[in-house]
Amino acid sequence: MELDIIDVQIDLRKIKPRELEEALEDPFAVRLVPDVERTDGESRYYALGRTVSDRYLFLSFWTDGKVTRVVAARDMSECEQRFYDRKYAEFK
């Protein structure tokens, strides 16, 4: 997977590109597809993932299978983190 971070609206000083990659490549990440079709035809995906340093991130992104472009990223809310932990416990 190639991560496209050119001209992103994310403060890359707060969330490092390495952390974005780790959250996207998290084998236990929860990935969701929105049920609303966009007018521009682009599919957006959402992911709840964890980094190696145990940081929980929420990501909105699109991908064509080769290139992934992160549209938005932030720390997970407490509710999202509990949801991630419940799903993670199902895999253990």
Per-residue H/E/C for 35-50:
CCCCCCCCCCEEEEEE
Per the DSSP assignment, residues forming a β-bridge with 68 are 3, 63
Q: Return the number of other C-beta atoms located less than 10 Å from residue 73's C-beta.
A: 23
pLDDT at 46: 93
Inform me whether the pLDDT recorded for 15 exceeds 80. Answer: yes
pLDDT tens-place string over residues 21-44:
999 999 999 998 876 676 766 678
Domain ranges of the chain: 2-91
Looking at this protein, which amino acid is placed at residue 31?
R
Confidence tier at 19 by pLDDT (50, 70, 90): very high
